[in-house]
Chain A
Amino acid sequence: MTEHDDAHAPTELLPGARDESGPGDDAEDSPREGVPVAELRGVHKSYRLDDVEVPVIRGVDMLIRPGNFTVLLGPSGSGKTTLLNMLGCIDRPDAGEVWVHGTDVGALDDDALSDFRGKHIGFIFQNFNLLPVLSAYENIEYPLVLSGASPKTRADRVPKLLDAVGLTDKAKHRPGQLSGGQRQRVAIARALVMKPKLVIADEPTANLDSKTGEAILALMRHMQRRHRISFVFSSHDPAVFRSADDAIFLKDGAIVSRRRQGVEVQGA
């Protein structure tokens, strides 16, 4: 098994894949145009390093458009990961508001926030972050187990996603038996199993070779279009930038420019 195997996977292992321009499985849940799937309003965030307060995010306003591939770009320390964490509801700003899927997440307590994340947000990590004691099938299934989904729902949904990422024959393999690209495909399937409206991906191709990274990117793009999901990335990868619908450039915790389908725009 090699990383290069993954280069073939997305297209060849997608039986019954629909025309990308048509509706996907979740057509009835298609996001309404113009209504942002996530929004940051005047958020500020600082971290304390010993006795020093270090501002990381300085008054950022941002909209994440529905059904879009959005990438956050910028040098190290520009605040990309911090913004992703806030969009993903795993961190709270010191000031400002975070709205996701029409909900002011700042008003939710910790348990409610956990439930919200489980239901509405998918995560794809740089290091895949699969549970090593679970098989590929079980890793994908686990968010459904946490949500209390019925065995029927799980049995219905998980095989389809495994098939969509081209890993039906690896269903019983544990992460230790999979290549990096295969693990990331499992992670993608896991992120999508709850049918979220927003998927957060922090440098998902950073630990993959270029060819595998491109294949993963293509898979995510395909899945994003098929299921009408908003993907928000952070990346240094030029290929990601080229694939993005929206690109937001950050520097020193602030947005310096935005591009929408290659065209610079003003405002959020």
Chain B
Amino acid sequence: MLMLALRNLMRNRRRSLATLAALAIGAASILMFGGYSTNIRYSMETAYVRTGGHLQIQHRDFNLYGSGDPTAYGIRDAERIVDAIRRDEVLGPKLVVATPTLQFGGIAGNYGAGVSKTVVGFGLQASENARMREWNHYDIPLVSPPFALLNSRPDSAIVGVGVARVLQLCATLKIANCPQPEKDVPAAGGAAMPDDILALTQREQNAPRGKGGSRAAAVAAPPPSPRRIELLASSTRGTPNVAALEVVEAEGQGFKELDEVFVAVHLAQAQRLVFGRAPPKATAIMLQLQRPDQMAGAAERLRAKLPEWSGQQPLAVLDLEELNPFFLQTIQLFNTIFGFIFVLIGSLVLFSVSNTMNTAVVERTVEIGTLRAMGLRKHGIRQLFMIEGFLLGAAGAVGGALVALLASALINSLGLEWLPPGSAEALPLVLRIWGENGMIVGTTLGLIVVATVSAWWPAHRAAKLNVVDALRHA
């Protein structure tokens, strides 16, 4: 039956090839779009994992209410929890980085320029965050620039490009495409800091350390510098604290909203600013894992052990998708588009194969009658045409997969780039088809099923033909 079906397809080569070509182009289109959306997913996931990790431990209510008063939803003894995680027999081997972070609200000012800006501050451990930025499970061909806080002074800061623009640091930081304001402003580093702010700054820098706080040497009054800003934050005692910071870099954050409020400082600096002499806290503990598929298992282990490690603090474990709703929405959007494209192309395949098989049934009516006269059952006739549909689908889908693989190799070699949403830097445009076996097999099998099913109606019609009428067909 298989041999007969194959030879019948070869009988009208032009028609069979046209149908095959339609199938192959359809399969290739689906796979190439799938490769494109897979690349977007991997790129976004890599970007988020590099900056925020796979999992975060936060106060149970931080995700909902923390934006109003982050430090009110802090984690006590964060370093002890981090140590416990690193030593855990289940989590330890999965871990790349476990590091606390402190988020707080404040006002950054450039008094020399007479400007200030509401900001969101992030206290980070420089060495751990530098390691996080190296995560590249999906081999994204991208080299991230070195983390500017690494090996920098304790009073160093990174600001968003939007913050730098508002604080008029573009020239000193040599930021490209950063327009200057039109109004007449004093040159950077011009006016002196007000005395009260200076006093606050010096008091913070010279204050003795509280229990559990990081120790840093007392520093003298900050030297005048065009990169100098002051960061004012409300401490947990309700009093304002000010830190004088040296901006070492402006780093684009992708989203304009984040880019215009972002300030990153050393964790110890942030904790001093917010907690002063009081025991410091963290607003989150970030965990970065070796592989994405470890996330569920790690989250489950954390939820089981956290009450014990944290001293019964009300903590929650959030994963990548919960932390980044935009990522999840983007993935869902692309999955929906992928599904829509599959249905569209599947419909084209259905009509194409069905039309080819209908024509074959009409042309071979006498042959059908002859086969039935020879003893082939109705089911056998149906089977014959469905096998032909299956063969068309198989050849077309497999051919399309090969075309997609070749086309993707060609496109990937061109070195094209694109700027993904939520990213400050352009990424290589890559169609990820090689190695995506699930997508290749799923698409190929799906189209084979569609082609086989689309042959059913013509096959059914052929099987139902009256033998005498079929033999008499002109």
Contact = CB atoms under 8 A, between A and B. Distances in A.
Contacts of B366: 127, 129
B375 A118 contact: yes
Contacts of A132: 11, 367
A115 B378 CA distance: 11
Nearest to B7: A133
B285 to A, nearest CB: 70
B221 interface: no
Contact of B375 (A131, A134, A147): A147
Contacts of B376: 114, 118, 146
Interface in B1-57: 4, 7-8, 10-11
B72 interface: no
B372 A114 contact: yes
A119 interface: yes
Interface string A58-87: 000000000000000000000000000100
Contacts of B371: 131
Contact of B374 (A110, A117, A127): A117
Contacts of A143: 374-375
Interface in A114-166: 114-119, 123, 125, 127, 129, 131-134, 142-143, 146-147
A90 B378 CA distance: 13
A28 interface: no
A25 interface: no
A111 interface: yes
Given A111-B377, A125-B471, A147-B375, A134 B370 contact: no
Contacts of A134: 4, 7
B120 to A, nearest CB: 74
Contact of B378 (A111, A125, A142): A111
A143 B378 CA distance: 15
A110 B378 contact: yes
A24 B208 CA distance: 120
A131 B367 contact: yes
A177 to B, nearest CB: 15
A115 B375 contact: yes
Interface in B367-389: 367, 369-380
A91 B376 CA distance: 15
B467 interface: yes
B343 interface: no
A123 B470 CA distance: 15
Contact of A119 (B7, B8, B375, B471): B375
Contact of B380 (A91, A123, A146, A190): A146
A253 interface: no
A225 to B, nearest CB: 24
A114 B471 contact: no
Q: Is the interface of A mostly helix, strand, loop or mixed?
A: helix
A181 interface: no
A213 interface: no
A143 B374 CA distance: 6
A80 B380 CA distance: 29
B375 A129 contact: no
Q: Is the interface of B mostly helix, strand, loop or mixed?
A: helix
A131 B377 contact: no
A88 interface: yes
B375 A85 contact: no
B471 A146 contact: no
Contacts of A88: 373
Interface residues of B, number: 22
Contact of A114 (B369, B377, B468): B377
A217 B231 CA distance: 111
Given A90-B467, A114-B372, A133 B378 contact: no
A111 B377 CA distance: 6
Contacts of B370: 123, 125, 129, 131
Contacts of A111: 377-379
Contacts of A133: 4, 7-8, 10-11
A190 B373 CA distance: 12
B4 A90 contact: no
A71 B128 CA distance: 99
A146 B378 contact: no
Interface string A93-121: 00000000000000000110011111100
Contacts of A125: 370, 471
Contacts of B374: 117-118, 123, 142-143, 146, 190
Contacts of B378: 110-111, 114
B375 A117 contact: yes
Nearest to A117: B375
A111 B374 CA distance: 12
Given A125-B370, A133-B4, A90 B468 contact: yes
A123 B369 CA distance: 11
Contacts of A114: 372, 375-378
A91 B372 CA distance: 12
A213 B29 CA distance: 58
Contact of B367 (A91, A123, A129, A190): A129
A191 B10 CA distance: 26
A118 B372 CA distance: 9
A123 B4 contact: no
Contacts of B379: 111
A249 to B, nearest CB: 23
B5 to A, nearest CB: 10
A111 B380 CA distance: 10
Interface of B: 4, 7-8, 10-11, 366-367, 369-380, 467-468, 471
Given A133-B8, A133-B11, A146-B375, 14 more contacts: A90-B372, A90-B373, A90-B467, A91-B468, A110-B378, A111-B377, A116-B375, A117-B373, A118-B375, A129-B367, A129-B369, A133-B4, A134-B7, A146-B380
8 smallest beta-carbon distances between A and B, as pairs: A118-B375, A133-B7, A129-B370, A90-B467, A114-B377, A123-B373, A117-B375, A91-B468
5 contacts: A90-B372, A91-B468, A117-B374, A129-B369, A133-B11
Interface of A: 85, 88, 90-91, 110-111, 114-119, 123, 125, 127, 129, 131-134, 142-143, 146-147, 190
